Amino acid sequence: MSINEDRDLKIVFVGPPGAGKSTAIKSISDLPPVSTDVPASDESRLTTVALDFGEMALDGGDVVRLYGVPGQGRFEFIWPMISDGAIGALFFLDARHPAPLQELDGYLESFDEMLRTTTSLLVVTHVDQARHEYDIQRFAHHVKERGHRMPVIEIDPRQRRDVLYALNLLLELLSPSNTGTAHAA
Ligand SMILES: Nc1nc2c(ncn2[C@@H]2O[C@H](COP(=O)(O)OP(=O)(O)OP(=O)(O)O)[C@@H](O)[C@H]2O)c(=O)[nH]1
Ligand SMILES: [Mg+2]
């Protein structure tokens, strides 16, 4: 498949609350993203209540549309609506989570259909705040065991170059001959 053929370059960012989806979109969007963040009731942080939307132009002229879902489970009904038509997905996983594999399984299940029809990457975040037993190999092994062909990488969503790395890897997986690349400004 060539991503330059009349395909809508829609990429969706999914995963649990606080994992860094909105931050990642903000880090790379060419324009200030559409954001629906409000203060979270139980923590001193923001949480998305509808969606994030950003755009990024590739050097070949294509524009990638970036959609972020609200991570809270109470918004699960919105996830398929936001994900509809996506060609690729970044699955976020928070390395601080006490039971990250259980958390991941829940999301893999919820997005099972999308996983089968799109190309996905697992991006592990909050690695700088992870506990000692954090081990990326365990995540990679787990994903493989579940039958998913999904590379696993670590990123800091606050760092533009990290998010660009993830996006370019996803584009490369979608189309190895792809001419469009997202560049660090
Ligand atoms: N230290 C550190 N902070 C991070 C990292 N990733 C995200 N954050 C911070 O974590 C907070 C939550 O990030 P968000 O981008 O709002 O998380 P989200 O996935 O959109 O969360 P929901 O909208 O609730 O689903 C922000 O303050 C980010 O700056 C990371 O890798 N390291
Ligand atoms: Mg968010």
Higher pLDDT, 2 or 184: 184
> What's residue 180's pLDDT?
66
The 3 state secondary structure assigned to 7-71 is CCCEEEEECCCCCCHHHHHHHHCCCCCECCEEECCCCCCEEECCCEEEEEECCCCCEEEEEECCC
Mutation probe of ligand 1 site: the residue of 107, 158, 165 with most atoms within 8 A of C-beta: 158
DSSP label of 120: E
**CB-ligand 1 contact for 35 (6 Å cutoff):** no
pTM value?
Answer: 0.93
- Identify whether the C-beta of residue 73 lies closer than 8 Å to the C-beta of residue 34: no
The 3 state secondary structure assigned to 93-113 is EECCCCCHHHHHHHHHHHCHH
**CB-ligand 1 contact for 27 (6 Å cutoff):** no
Mutation probe of ligand 1 site: the residue of 23, 49, 128 with most atoms within 8 A of C-beta: 23
Ligand 2 centroid to 177 CA: how many Å?
32
Atom 4 of ligand 1, residue of closest alpha carbon: 126
User: What is the band of 44 on the pLDDT scale with cuts at 50, 70, 90?
Assistant: confident
Q: Please state which of the four CATH numbers 3.30.530.20, 3.40.50.300, 3.40.50.970, 3.30.200.20 is assigned to the domain occupying 10-174.
A: 3.40.50.300
User: What is the band of 42 on the pLDDT scale with cuts at 50, 70, 90?
Assistant: confident
Give the mean pLDDT of 76-98: 95
